[in-house]
A = this chain, B = another copy of it.
Amino acid sequence: MSQPEAPTEQQPSPRQIEVLEATLRQMLVEGQAVTMNSVARAASCSKETLYKWFGDREGLLTATVKWKASRVHVGAIEPGRLDRAALVARLEEFASNWLAVISSETSIALNRIAMGEAGTGKHSLGAIVLENGRFALGARLKPVLEAGRAARLLEFQDSEEAFRTFFGLMARDVQIRLLLGDALVLSSATIHQEAARAATQFLALYGVENPTGSAG
């Protein structure tokens, strides 16, 4: 009764994870299409197994993207009680992690594939990437923002809107340029500078200038 079968809603087995990792490795190879043959060869498995486990090519790609995207965590951040310095540190850490992720080969390849197949209307890869990327990001940062508001450090009405602005300040033109193939190198130092700038600018827009504790 231990048939791994289709990992539709279950955790993939170790062997299946090997296959998914091989698929991901194929996605990262520049100038090479991800074919069932290449995946089978790279994973040292038969194509019959691929079809038995994942149904078809779309199933394989979807499972790979879903599996990889689900473990791209930008680091959960506990709000705790905040002062301004702690808030800035959290924002910078958050932005650093996210910039490192989106400038990675993996993220670039996954986004390219998802966008490329989004035009064909067949795949749901775009929704998966969006759900585990942009929206998971918002869900993780919003508690921090709201804690900052509760601590009278930030001022905004809609945390979604505030997050979107922070997103823009983090990303600027970086993601678009990378996805379009621009040779933009993000060194560790550059990432930290960008993260610090984004946090500073966000504080300048949404920070409370005079924290007069007149309420309560």
Contact = CB atoms under 8 A, between A and B. Distances in A.
Interface stretch (A49-57, A81-89, A147-155, A178-186): A178-186
- How many copies of this kind of chain does the complex include? 2
A15 B117 CA distance: 31
Contacts of A180: 111, 114-115, 118, 126-127, 129-130, 134
A139 interface: no
A112 B116 contact: yes
Nearest to A28: B119
A33 interface: yes
Given A164-B172, A172-B165, A179 B134 contact: no
Interface of A: 30-33, 109, 111-122, 126-127, 129-130, 134, 164-165, 167-173, 175-177, 179-182, 201, 204-205
